[in-house]
């Protein structure tokens, strides 16, 4: 139920803000708005405020199908218009007015993202401290000399232009951007808060990144924050339960290998498979102040067509957390920068998918969005606001793509009109609309297929 409510609330807000952008600029430019609709199809709720802007008699509607909305304006192309109101029709407006009305929808979504990110910055959010877990063996981080337990103080593209790293989420965002952009990154690390710093270069440009997923961070080698190698809840009937392991057991050693943190413990469990068969090992554990040895034979499961070990228990304790909060001006500027960064990253990923350098698996549809809406809402207000901001940026950027059925397609028509001095003909408009609908349907089909594969595959 939480997932459904969070999803509907997100859709309603983002669509309403997008359409309000069109509506507000149209009204400000003197264009008559006939209908403002959130949703398509059968009308669920309809009302017409008594007090409206001068000359407006807009009808506000909520439709049954929530995946979209529209603002219907007075337009001679859609029906007869009285001579007395012709000057208020959309189609007779100057080019710059029409372009401003169309661009206002995506702009409203981007402005909403700035506001949401700013609210998160001002409220503050609990994030894992930027203390690194043990890197994945043979990964970029491991080869660069990181061993786990390092505190990351600063990071950046160049040694002379490094910025403070407030949390592990900050670092992961920088690593994602650097890898997808094919850039190296410097990190300033220390063994403790007061320890001596050292600079480490992570040559991320050597990684061939097609997807921003867990596999990407396995290549980088930084999977998460440092956590103690302790067991949480143990599932009945799993390998941990059969071996006699209990919640709260601290793992000291697996076979001859000392265990230093939760990430390394998970990696050792995953790798306890040879030839598709589980490999048993003697675990030394600390329990109630004493040391005991337990033989553990993990279960074998498939993960992305690879056999890995599983023990049926939560592995790793909670990481150290830090509250990340910004001042008024700093938080607002950081929100603008974050919105711009996410927008540019989205555009780059779309461009790379178009030329085949990035996987189409990066496209997500309504099922994935609904899933993340529920998960983020369950984590608290700030996480839900971050989710809303990310989707709002995506909606704004996607609507600016030059597809004929989107706002960007209409702006493309206006660009042609501005350059050539004449509008796109009706015949060409119809052909382009059909092409745009076909392309949009293909994109939606791929996104839905990715959703089903990701959630149920």
Active-site residues: which are they?
A: 19
Closest CA to 268 of 216, 316, 219: 316
The answer to whether 73 and 30 are in contact (CB under 8 A) is: no
Q: Which of 87, 197, 208, 123 minimizes the C-alpha distance to 153? A: 197
Query: What's the Cα-to-Cα distance from 177 to each of 110, 167, 404, rounded to whole Å?
Result: 19, 16, 30
Nearest to 432 by CA among 403, 408, 400: 403
Asked whether 280 and 295 are in contact (CB, 8 A), the reply is yes
d(CA 405, CA 412): 11
Nearest to residue 243, comparing CAs of 306, 275, 287? 287
| 392 contacts 113 by C-beta, under 8 angstroms | yes
Give ∠ CA 49-68-410 in degrees, rounded to 5. Answer: 100
Of 173, 232, 180, nearest in space to 204 by CA:
180
Buried b (16+ CB within 10 A) or exposed e, 375-414: ebbeeeebbbbbbbbbbbbbbbbbbbbebbbbbbbbbbbb
Dihedral sign of CA atoms 150, 153, 156, 161 in order: negative
Distance CA 148, CA 225 (A): 9
Contacts of residue 3, defined as CB under 8 A and 6 or more positions apart, other chains included, come to: 370, 371, 373, 374, 375, 377
CA distances from 364 to 2, 79, 329, 391 (A): 20, 37, 34, 11
Return all residues near 354 (Cβ < 8 A) that are at least 6 apart: none
The DSSP-derived string for 391-406 is HHHHHHHHHTSS-TTS
Q: How far apart are CA 163 and CA 141, in angstroms?
A: 19
């Amino acid at each position: 139920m939480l997932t459904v409510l969070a999803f509907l609330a997100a859709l309603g807000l983002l669509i309403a803000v997008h359409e309000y952008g069109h509506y507000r600029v149209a009204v400000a430019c003197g264009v008559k708005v006939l209908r403002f609709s959130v949703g398509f199809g059968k009308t669920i709720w309809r009302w017409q405020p008594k007090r409206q802007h001068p000359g407006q008699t807009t009808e506000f509607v909520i439709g049954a199908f929530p995946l979209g909305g529209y603002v219907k304006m007075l337009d001679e192309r859609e029906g007869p218009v009285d001579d007395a109101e012709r000057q208020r029709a959309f189609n007779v407006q100057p080019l710059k007015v029409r372009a401003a009305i169309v661009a206002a929808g995506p702009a409203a979504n981007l402005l909403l993202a700035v506001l949401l990110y700013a609210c998160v910055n001002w409220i503050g959010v609990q994030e894992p401290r930027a203390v690194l877990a043990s890197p994945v063996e043979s990964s970029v981080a491991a080869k660069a000399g990181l061993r786990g337990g390092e505190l990351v103080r600063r990071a950046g593209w160049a040694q002379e232009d490094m910025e403070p790293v407030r949390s592990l989420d900050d670092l992961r965002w920088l690593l994602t951007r650097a890898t997808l952009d094919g850039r190296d990154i410097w990190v300033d690390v220390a063994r403790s808060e007061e320890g001596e710093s050292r600079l480490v270069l992570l040559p991320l440009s050597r990684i061939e990144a097609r997807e921003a997923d867990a596999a990407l961070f396995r290549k980088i080698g930084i999977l998460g924050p440092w956590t103690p190698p302790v067991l949480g809840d143990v599932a009945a009937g799993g390998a941990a339960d059969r071996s006699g392991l209990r919640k709260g057991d601290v793992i000291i050693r697996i076979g001859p290998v000392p265990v230093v943190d939760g990430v390394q413990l998970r990696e050792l469990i995953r790798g306890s498979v040879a030839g598709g068969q589980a490999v048993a090992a003697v675990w030394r554990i600390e329990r109630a102040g004493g040391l005991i040895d337990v033989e553990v034979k993990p279960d074998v499961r498939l993960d992305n067509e690879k056999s890995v070990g599983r023990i049926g228990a939560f592995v790793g304790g909670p990481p150290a957390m830090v509250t990340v909060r910004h001042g008024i001006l700093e938080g607002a500027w950081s929100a603008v920068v974050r919105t711009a960064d996410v927008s540019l990253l989205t555009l780059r990923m779309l461009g790379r998918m178009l030329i085949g350098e990035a996987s189409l698996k990066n496209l997500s549809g309504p099922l994935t969005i609904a899933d993340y809406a529920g998960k983020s809402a369950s984590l608290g207000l700030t996480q839900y606001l971050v989710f809303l901001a990310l989707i709002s940026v995506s909606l704004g950027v996607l609507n600016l793509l030059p597809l004929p059925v989107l706002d960007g397609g209409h702006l493309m028509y206006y660009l042609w009109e501005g350059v050539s001095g004449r509008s796109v003909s009706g015949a060409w408009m119809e052909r382009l609309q059909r092409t745009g609908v076909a392309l949009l349907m293909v994109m939606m089909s791929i996104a839905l297929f990715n959703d089903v594969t990701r959630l149920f595959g």
